[in-house]
Amino acid sequence: MTHASPTPTKKYDLNFARWVYENVDGGDRMALCMQCGTCSGSCPVGQQMDYGPRKLFMMIRAGLKEEVLKSNTLWNCVSCYNCVVRCPRKVPVTYILHDLATVAVREGYAEAKESDNSRFAKAFWWSAAKYGRTDERLVTALYYFSFGMGEGYKRGMANMPIAMGMVKTKRMHLGMPHKCKNTGELKKILAKAAEIEARSHAGGAGNANPAGGTAGHDK
């Protein structure tokens, strides 16, 4: 949206850190992070992250904006909330990571736009926003074909036996996708959320994002 993050001109330039404190969901509490490492140590997917949350937060302070917004840390978080529960300084690590992911997409970091997880998030969100439910077939198809026709076909065929097995055991159905009862109401709710979010970002200060309502919501 409008309010883009500033880019540091030198190490430990505090403009990006201060922007994160003020504009990212939970960022104000990030100032209190004391670098204990409890979050990184608790994270079940920490091994699959470029940097654990602890280091990522220090990099934000160090003004390493580019490395932060390009990192897969933002995308690999599985929202288990282990870190949030354990952080001695009550830093809402999970919210911060998810909101940073939206920042990365919004500000056009190619790595963020092209990462597997952001593709999946987009597919997931499309289904959730349209039907109020996720349809496995549509989500996987959208995700697979986001890599191109050939690649999508290849991945789809590779997973066909699994899909058939699921149909056979009634874990997946054929036919029209299931919907929630009132998709009209759902649309209104989402429109309202988007409006609130736009307002808070346009305002620049504060972090009035509704908790947890930010993951993968570009478009």
Partner 1 sequence: MSERKTGVYLCSGCGIGEAVNVATLEGVAKSEFRMEPKTHACLCGDEGVGMIKADIDAGVNQVIVAACSARVMTDRFAFEPHLTIRADLREKVIWSHPAGDEDTQMLAEDYLRMALSQAPKVTAPEPWVDGDYSQRICVLGGGVTGLTAAKEAAALGHDVLLIERSDRLGGHALGASKRLPHRPPYDSPEPNDVDALVAAVKAESRIVVKMSVTVTKTAGMPGKFAVTLSDGSVEDVGAIVIATGWRPYDATKLGHLGYGASPDVVTNVEFEAMLKAGRPQRKSSGQPVKSVAFVQCAGSRDPNHLPYCSNVCCATSLKQALELIQADPLTNCYVIYEEMRTPGVAEELYRAAQKAGVIFIKGKVKGVGADLTVTVADELVQADIPLQGLDMVVLATGMVPNSTNPDAAAEEYGADLLKGDVDPEAPIKVAGYCGSEPGAHERREQAIPPGGPLLNLQYRQGPHLPVLHDGFADSHYICFPYETRRTGIYTCGPVRRPMDWAEAAEDAQGAVLKAVQAVRSAAAGAALHPRVGDLSFPKINYNQCTKCRRCTVECPFGAIDENAEQYPQVNATRCRRCGTCMGACPVRTISFDNYSVEMLTTQIKSVKIPDEFSGKPRILVIACENDAVPSLDMAGIKRNSWSAHVRVLPVRCLGSVSLLCVSDALSVGYDGVMLMGCKPGDDYQCHFVKGSAMAAERLSKIGETLKSMMLEPERVVQVEASIADADRLPKVIDEFVDRIMGIGFNPFKGF
Partner from partner 1, ligand SF4, none binding residue 93, C-beta < 5-8 Å depending on class: ligand SF4
Of the pair 37, 203, the CB lying nearest ligand SF4 is at 37
Q: Whole-number minimum distance, CB 43 to ligand SF4, in Å?
A: 3
Among 56, 144, 72, CA closest to 111 = 72
10 binds, among ligand SF4, partner 1, none (CB under 5 to 8 A by kind): partner 1
φ, ψ for residue 168, nearest 5 deg:
-60, -40
Cα dihedral sign for 57, 53, 24, 105?
Answer: positive
12 binds, among ligand SF4, partner 1, none (CB under 5 to 8 A by kind): partner 1
| The two three-digit tokens of residue 79, written as one number | 């929202």
Give the separation between CA 77 and CA 46, rounded to whole angstroms.
Answer: 8
Q: Which of 5, 23, 42, 102 binds ligand SF4 (CB under 6 A)?
A: 42
Per-residue DSSP letter, 48: G
91, interface contact from partner 1, ligand SF4, none, CB < 5-8 Å by kind: ligand SF4
Least spacing, CB of residue 114 vs partner 1, in Å: 26
Q: Pick the closest to residue 51 from 100, 103, 124, 92 (CA basis).
A: 100
18: partner contacted, choices ligand SF4, partner 1, none (Cβ within 5-8 A by kind): partner 1
Q: Among 88-96, 114-122, 176-184, 202-210, which window interacts with ligand SF4 (CB under 6 A)?
A: 88-96
To partner 1, the closest distance from the beta carbon of 131 in angstroms equals 44
Asked if 37 touches ligand SF4 (CB under 6 A), the answer is yes
Residue 112 makes CB contacts below 8 A (sequence gap 6+) with: 69, 70, 74, 75, 101, 104, 105, 118
The residue among 35 and 48 lying less far from partner 1, judged by its C-beta, is: 35
Structure tokens at 137: 């077939």
Q: Which of 1, 4, 80, 157 binds ligand SF4 (CB under 6 A)?
A: 80
Our CB check for partner 1 shows the closer of 8 and 216 to be 8
Nearest approach, Cβ of residue 28 and partner 1 (Å): 9
Cβ burial 136-151 (10 Å sphere, 16+ → b, else e): ebbbbebbbbbeeeee
Alpha helical stretches, state H, 159-212: 160-168, 183-203
Nearest to 138 by CA among 148, 127, 147, 149: 127
Q: What is the binding site for ligand SF4 (CB under 6 A)? A: 33-39, 42-43, 45, 53-54, 57, 77-83, 87-89, 91, 93-94, 97
